[in-house]
Amino acid sequence: MRPLLLLSNDDGVRSPYLEALARGLERLGEVLVIAPERQRSAMSHTITLHKPLRVHEVAPGRYSASGSPVDCVYLGVLKLCPRRPAVVVSGINDGFNLGTDVFYSGTVGAAIEGGLRGIPALAVSLEYGGEAALPRAVDLACATVAGLLAGGLPPATVLNLNVPRLAGGQYRWTRLGRRIYQDDVHVRSDPRGHDYYWIGGGEAGMADIPGSDCEAAAAGLASITPLRLDFTAPDLGEPPFALDGFEVG
C-alpha cells in the first residue's frame, strides 16, 4: 500500500501552489488535501473550539474546511484520513517563513500539528514573486518528503523548508534567523466615526546571523531548518533569580 500524505496550507484550497505540490507528491504516495476554504495566513496554531467546522469535497481527494490550517490537519488525522498519514506536508506558502515567522505562520502551524501527533512533518514556503521557481520548490519538497519517508527524523521535530525565487540545486541545513519588520499600528476611522486599528508592517531586512535560514535566503539558497517542539531552555538548569518567600523544592 502506498504511503498516505496529508497536505494542507494557509493560503486556501484554491492556491495553485498547493495544487502543484499535490501533483508532485503523488509520485511518492496517495495524497489527501484538506485546506482552508479561504486565506488563513498568520493564524499560527489557532484551533477552533467554540463553533462548528464545515468540510466540503471540492474534487476527488481535495477537501476545504471552514477553519484554520491546524483545524485541517486535526480533522484529517482524526477523522477524514482513511488511515494514519505517513507524512504531513503544509504549503507551498506564497512568501518566506523565515526566523521568527515560524511563531506566526499558519503554514508552519499546520506542520507542527502533525509533529505534535507523532507524524513526520514538513512546512514549505517559496519567496514571494517566485512563480518561476515553483517547479524547483516542488522538487525540493518532494525530495525532502522522500527523506522523511525513509526515516531518521527525531520525534517531536518538524522541518521548515524555504525556497528563494532564484534557488538552484543547492540547500543549507540551517538554524532560525530573525527577520526585521516595520512594526506599526495604524489608527483609522470607519464611516461612522469609530476608530479601528490596522497592525503590522512591511519587511525591513534580516539580521546577519551565521548559519541561519535568513543568511541562506540572502545567498539565494534554499534552507531546511529543524524545529524542536519542546520549548524548554536546557541551558537554564537552575533558576536565574530567587523568588522572595519561596524556595526551590
Give the Å distances, CA to CA, from 211 to 51, 147, 154, 171: 43, 22, 21, 12
pLDDT of residue 182: 76
**By C-alpha distance, which of 64, 119, 124 is closest to 88?**
119
Domain that holds residue 138: 4-178+208-228
In the chain, the number of structural domains is 1
Strand duo 195-199 + 185-189: pairing = antiparallel
Whether 8 has a pLDDT exceeding 90, the answer reads yes
Whether 48 has a pLDDT exceeding 90, the answer reads yes
Task: Return the beta strands (E) in 37-176 as ranges.
Answer: 55-59, 62-65, 87-94, 121-126, 157-163, 171-173
pLDDT of residue 168: 83
Residue 188 lies in a domain: no
Q: Tens of pLDDT along 152-171?
A: 899 999 999 999 998 888 99
Q: Which residues contact 95 (CB under 8 A, 6 or more apart)?
A: 125, 126, 127, 128
Cell readout for 223 is 534552507
Exposure of 213 in the CB half-sphere (CA atoms within 13 A): 27
Q: How confident is residue 206, by pLDDT bands cut at 50, 70 and 90?
A: confident
Residue 11 lies in a domain: yes
Cα distance between residue 135 and residue 129, in whole Å: 14
Q: Give me the chain's average pLDDT, please.
A: 94
Domain CATH for 113? 3.40.1210.10
Tell me the pTM. Answer: 0.93
Q: How confident is residue 204, by pLDDT bands cut at 50, 70 and 90?
A: low
**Cβ(36)–Cβ(58) below 8 Å:** no
- Mean pLDDT of all residues in 70-78: 98
Residue 200 lies in a domain: no
Residue 249 lies in a domain: no
